[in-house]
């Protein structure tokens, strides 16, 4: 099981002094939109694998991408969010951002557990290969 980040959110206080919790959900609710400030909190949570602390995993969720959240998840807020996190967390030196599927994340975690190092993105297919349908799509798009 890959844990998603849970962070204290001091910008969403309860009773004026108790921090709210951010559970890495993105939806249309107030305070749960895509925001660089939130992504920084998730990175700072430092979810990773023992022995490979420089590979930080940020697992977010969208509650099944409900239709009422479509404008947030598919609209301008999300485009701006991805532009911002790519600017700040994909410089190729300090940070290298990878978007991965659940299968690819399992592979990267397994590589980390085995002590492999380098670019985490190179381990997307480390143990579990892509499904056969993915190979067909590659052939069709290449041809």
pLDDT digits (tens, 9 = 90+) for 107-121: 999 999 999 999 999
Q: Is the pLDDT of residue 60 over 80?
A: yes
pTM for the predicted model, two decimal places: 0.84
Query: Confidence band (pLDDT; 50, 70, 90) for 64?
Result: confident
* Tokens found for residue 52: 């490979």
Where do we find the tokens 């099944």?
64
State mean pLDDT over 60-67: 85
DSSP string, 67-108: GGGHHHHHSHHHHHHHHHHHHHH--SSS-------HHHHHHH
């Amino acid at each position: 099981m890959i844990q998603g980040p849970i962070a204290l959110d001091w910008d969403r206080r309860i009773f004026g002094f108790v921090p709210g919790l951010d559970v890495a959900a993105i939806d249309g609710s107030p305070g749960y939109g895509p925001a660089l400030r939130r992504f920084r909190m998730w990175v700072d949570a430092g979810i990773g694998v023992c022995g490979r602390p420089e590979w930080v995993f940020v697992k977010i969720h969208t509650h099944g991408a409900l239709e009422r959240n479509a404008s947030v998840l598919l609209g301008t807020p999300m485009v701006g969010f991805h532009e911002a996190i790519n600017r700040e967390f994909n410089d190729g030196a300090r940070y290298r951002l990878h978007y991965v599927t659940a299968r690819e994340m399992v592979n990267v975690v397994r590589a980390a557990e085995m002590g492999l190092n380098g670019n985490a993105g190179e381990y997307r297919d480390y143990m579990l290969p892509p499904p056969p349908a993915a190979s067909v799509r590659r052939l069709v798009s290449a041809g």
